[in-house]
Amino acid sequence: MRYQVPQFVDIQDRIIGPLTLKQFLYYVAAVLLLIPVYLLADLGLFLSFAIPVLGVTALFAHVHWRGQTFASLLWHGFHYFTGGRLYIWRRVAGAAEMYIAGGEYEEFVENLPTTASALDAIAQTLNTQGNIIAQDAADPLVEGGEGVNPPDQSNAS
């Protein structure tokens, strides 16, 4: 093998013992939070405060779910619950379907365009509304850069 391919590039470096730098900083923050409680409160109050704080710290430092840390899961969950949502369409349970019947159906079928000229007329009306144009856009790679009309199919033999 000529070149060695790096392996495990998504694993963070262990800086302090078995802990990464981020895990170590989580524990440092927890200890800095617990020092004043230890100095100002008795042992029972300190333990009742320290056990949940260390549990949450261990949760943030060590829990990964589907490749994401617990902190990023909380962040994404917060944005999901506080962010806006766009509902384009939702089926309403028990809604009646629409049917075209009787004279409305016959009128609908009679007005359907069935010839190529009728479809061309519809396409020409879309020319101003739907940005459909009769000429190709200018091609910068073609000399002169002018658009070319599509070949006329009616003259082809």
Residue 52 lies in a domain: yes
Number of domains comprising the chain: 1
- What average pLDDT does the segment 23-39 reach? 96
Residue 51 lies in a domain: yes
Q: What is the rounded distance in angstroms from the CA atom of residue 117 to the CA atom of residue 85? A: 44
Residue 152 lies in a domain: no
- Residue 141's pLDDT is what? 63
Give me the chain's average pLDDT, please. 79
pLDDT digits (tens, 9 = 90+) for 108-119: 777 777 777 777
Residue 71 lies in a domain: no
Domain region containing 39: 14-62
pTM over 0.75: no
Strands annotated E in 28-157: 64-65, 68-69
Q: What is the rounded distance in angstroms from the CA atom of residue 105 to the CA atom of residue 110? A: 9
66 compared with 102, residue with greater pLDDT: 66
Residue 38 lies in a domain: yes
Q: Does the pLDDT of residue 79 top 70, yes or no?
A: yes
Helix (H) / strand (E) element for 77: namely helix 70-82
Residue 29 lies in a domain: yes
